[in-house]
Structures are given as C-alpha cells and as structure tokens.
Structure 1
C-alpha cells in the first residue's frame, strides 16, 4: 500500500500553486483534494478545487473512482483540524485490522463507488485516508491542522465555488512558491507586479534577478535589482553575497519575494544560494 502521511499546510499551498506552461491544477491526474467535513461547513467555504466526499443515503462515505485515484499524483484529505495520525484508533490495532478491513470495504459497492463507514468527528480525514491508500500509487496526504489551520494561513485560497471548468483552471493565477513559511517566496515577474499577491502574502521587499525593471516597491531599500540575462553564461554567482545580505536584512520587517521573468532558473538559483549561505542548507 502507498501509506498515509501528514501534509503541512505549506506543502498543500505549494502543490496548489505549481505551474508549467499552464497551472498544474489544470492537469488531469495532478491533484485530488477531498473535504470530509459536513455539507454545511463545505458550503460555507472550502479550499479551492476541493470536492466534498459524497455520502450514501445511509450516511456511509463514498470513495471516488478507484481508477482516478490510481492515476493521481497528489491525493490530499482534510477535515476540520486533525493534527496527527494518532487521532484514530490505536495504530497497532489498525495495522492488524488493515488487510481484513480493506477486504471488507472492497466488497461493498454502490454505483461504481466504494463505501466506507466513518465517524464524522475528529480524525475523520485520517480514517478516510487509510481507506484510500489501497487505490493510490503515492501516499495519501492528510492536511495537518485541517481546514482550520490552512484557512488561517492562506485565507485567500478559500472559496465557495464548487465546480471548476477546464478553462477556469487554465486561467488560474498561481501565487509564488513559499520557501520559508510566511517569510521567503519565489515567483515570476507577473506575480511580482500583482498588488493583491503582495498584500495577501504580506511581502515587504523584493529581489529582482531579471533584466526587466519592476517598480511596484517605491520605498527606498525595499527592492534589490540584479540585472541578469537568461543565459548560461550569465554571472549570478558574484551577486550571491549581496542577495543574501539583502534578504537577511529585510526578513526582519516582513516577507521577501525573489523573482525572475518566468520564476524558474535565475530566481531558484538565487533562492538556493540564500538557503545554503544563510540557513546552512546542503545542496541536496
């Protein structure tokens, strides 16, 4: 089995905001985000693109199509505020019962969905995730702290929207990737010029490692522009110390965004340099 793992809110935030040519949320088989809370709680607000787990007339929770789960890269489940995998029954007992329970669950079918009986209280996400792990190739992720913690960290990713059309996902505007919680972000030029993003993430300074000037921050000392061409021959190494010192200075007063034109090579190089120099991260 793929297993069950806890997922920090920051990890889900970054999963939601990945992009290639288009946002990765638009890719089939990328993310299956499942909400196990009550219908009222879900309708009030939920995480963007989340689907509420359906229930049978008898109140049993339905497992989504097993073929969909088998192909998905990230399967994330959340409830109100589960904070550990120990909220459900004793883990040793669960391991012993696992094979037998899965066999029983797999025999109960309703309209191409699998049924599972779960309590609606604390730990629902963990118990539900354990029932999904037989269908997935990757570990099922349980959101640590549930919706309560995630929505407190990222209130701008809450919604009441239920149905997302493919074109809407294609046009979804991702936020910068979060490198250090609420402190260091990495993104592209468009994100750096978006005032709403700066407000939502409380960004107070920027490091621009592209040739394009960005003048969103007019306050003196809040913008560092290292003009570097997008070329294999470009010299970014000589500016590492300047970049790192600037970020260290600015983090005391708020979050910092490091960006380049596309937010891929130059910005990631500068960000890795900072993590290795100031945070003592290894290259691995």
Structure 2
C-alpha cells in the first residue's frame, strides 16, 4: 500500500517478474510469476498480456517456523493411506477462463523466508472454501481448486477434519499420489494441524518447499477453526467431483464473525442463517421476502440494480443499522491514517478489533455483487473510517465476485466525500 504500491488482485497491469513458476487451471494453462517486490499480499493473481501472475509474500510469523525447521532431522516415518508405516517415498472466471481467488493479505516483513510458503487466517480459509465463480457455482466443485492437507495423526483426521481435506499420508502413497508434479496442478494448497508449529506440518512444509510447491500454513490450529466453523467439520471424504458437487456456497465473511455478504439464496436458507448465527439482515432486493422475521431483525430496501437508482440516499441508514448490531470496527488503513493524521503509520488493514457487540449481520441482494457491496462499502467508510479505495480492496479480497455498477460507484465516491470532507479515492483505483 505504501510507496505508491497497489494491491489489486485482478488488475490487468504490468508487474515485475523475478522468477518463473507454473500455475494451471483445469481449463486454462498459463505461465505465472513470483513477485517479491510488491508489498502487502500473500497471494495475488492478475492477468497481464495473457499471463497469470501469482505473487507470494513473506511473513514475520515464519521466521520462527524456519528456525524450527532447521533443527528437524528428516528421517520421516509416515503412514500410507492404509495406515501402514513406510519410509519417505519422495525427495469462477472473468470471461478469460481464469478463476478469481481471494487475495491472502500479509503484513510487510524484511525477513527472508521460503518463497514457496506463507500463512493464512481462519477467515481467509473460510472464504476460500465457500467461494463462488462468476457463474455462481461453488469453487469447491473443482477438484483442482483447493487442496487441504491435514497434518495431524490419522486417528484425529478420521474423527473430524475440514471438509474436502486429505490426510498428509496421501503425499507418500506407494502409488505416488499427490507427488510434486500433481501438486503443482492445484491452484491453492493449505496445510493445517493442531498447531502451526507441530512437527508433521513443519516437516511436510519443508519438503514441499524443497520441491518448489507453493503452499500456505493455517495460522491457527484445527481446533480453533472447528470452533469458529463447526459446519465445515466432517468425517466424510469429498475427493471426487460427484462428492464435491453436493457442496454449496455460503455468505462471504467480511469482518470476523460479525459481517457477512451473500446472495438471496443464502438469506432464504435456514441452515445458513442458523450456522452463522445471523441476527440482522439488510435485504436489498425487489422480490425476495424477509423470511425469518420472527427471529431476525430486517432492514428492507426495495431498489433495482441499475446505475440510475439512488442507493446513496440509503447509505446513512444502512450504515446505522449495521453499526447498531455490530458497532464500530477498528480497521485503520494507511491511506486513511495519512489523510486523518497527515503522516503514514503503517498498513494495518486486516479486519480485527471487532466491538463487544454479539450480533451478526448479513447484507444481501440478488447475486451478492452490486447492491449489497454498495451497502457494505458504505458501512466500512462510515463506521470503520476506511477510504473507498481501501474498503474496496478489503471487500474484493473477501469476496472476489463483488462488482457494484458504475452508478453505485459514483454514489460511493460522493459518500466518501461526505464522510471524509473530500475525496481521497479515485474511480480508476477501485478493483472492480
């Protein structure tokens, strides 16, 4: 974010290429690049002259991980898929065919760590699992989209694991399952265990790095993730397309455990409302009813998704409604702090410091892209003191398919001017 650097995951621009890597989509294979010059993101994807750019960043969290890895003896004793001990057997598109993925945000760091490894938060993993394509289909239906590797003991995996995950022993099958050439076909690989520092996860991470396989480590342990998202815990196996096709999308998590954005189907699904603990809903549709009025508090705005529609007039009321439920959230961005204090104070744009209020809000329109995005962005500016530029980047990171229409974007610029006293964002800087 600083020094003129921009964090737009889907922007078609030129970026420096420092090392070639391979990235493959099930229907579209293209070259990629690791970019170590841009700041602020663990993984970004952009189209530049037909090339897929995958940028992996460094994290101070991994300094201690690397220190622990240096002291590990690599005499691996690993179970195969049948539980038998064996030795180490191995040393949604935008119209272009590219699947748009949420960006994994990272704090800046000067510490040198493996260029093939980074960390991911619970919120980021949740949004990856429940993400949708531009056609509205669940991303998880694609078996080449996300590989989750459970690095715990086999008995723990069998008792409960994150949905679609495989046990790490699959890496060392006598059949050569999931070896480096196959692993590099996955768009995203994430390792998790009881702790980010347990021996199994560090050994496997080191091995993947040696094989030049990009991957992420879940920052928290599996127990914490299960506590936050018990509905994503299962004993079942979803390894085939037919199995994955039974899974559905859910609303994207914008602020941890407090603010979600989704579509009309989500808002009409009692399982989703109950699982996420939704207490307040902003319904910005013409046709969809307030189905759960006995248990949920609603704000209904019957407006169409057209550029000439005046949604700006509703933004103070929608922001007040959301704030009455979840309060103000501290998300100080570098741009905002420079504007308010006259100096930079570091990029701290990651959601956090949610108020003590216990309510949970869902904002939805028909598809969860234009009207609902406008309402969420209005709240982030008004209550969280984020500029439109920073709020848009945060929202796009959490829900890649958001796209307010041009009329609503102009209205949001007007609202930003009212909130901050002047415009500090430009329409051309927004990631839509």
Q: Report TM bin, short chain.
A: 0.7 to 0.9
Q: Quote the residue 1:100 is aligned against.
A: none
Q: Quote the residue 2:102 is aligned against.
A: none
Residue 382 of structure 2 corresponds to residue 277 of structure 1: yes
CA contact (8 A) 1:33 1:51 kept: yes
Q: Distance in 2 between matches of 1:163 and 1:176?
A: 21
Residue 195 of structure 2 corresponds to residue 81 of structure 1: yes
Q: Quote the residue 1:190 is aligned against.
A: 265
- Point out which structure has higher relative CO (alpha carbons under 8 A, 6+ apart): 1
**Structure 1 portions without partners, runs of 5+:** 88-121
Residue 301 of structure 2 corresponds to residue 226 of structure 1: yes
Residue 276 of structure 2 corresponds to residue 201 of structure 1: yes
Q: Quote the residue 2:292 is aligned against.
A: 217
Q: TM-score scaled by structure 1? A: 0.78
Q: Quote the residue 2:139 is aligned against.
A: 24
Deviation of residue 37 (structure 1)? 0.9
Q: Map Cα deviations across residues 24-66 of structure 1 (whole Å, 9 max, x no partner).
A: 0112432111111111001001000001111699x99x88232
Residue 372 of structure 2 corresponds to residue 267 of structure 1: yes
Deviation of residue 189 (structure 1)? 0.6
CA contact (8 A) 2:193 2:222 kept: yes
CA contact (8 A) 1:213 1:225 kept: no
Select the structure that is richer in helix: 1
1:157 to 232, 235, 239: 232
Partner SS state of residue 133, structure 1 = helix
2:181 to 67, 91, 101: 67
Q: Name the Cα RMSD after superposition.
A: 2.5
Partner SS state of residue 307, structure 2 = coil
Q: Quote the residue 1:14 is aligned against.
A: 127
Residue 177 of structure 2 corresponds to residue 177 of structure 1: no
Partner SS state of residue 216, structure 1 = coil
Change beyond 3 A, Cα 1:55–1:30:
closer
Residue 238 of structure 2 corresponds to residue 124 of structure 1: no
After the TM superposition, which parts of structure 1 deviate over 6 Å for at least 4 consecutive aligned residues?
A: none
Q: Quote the residue 1:54 is aligned against.
A: 169
**Structure 2 portions without partners, runs of 5+:** 1-113, 327-356, 391-432
Q: Distance in 2 between matches of 1:166 and 1:63?
A: 17
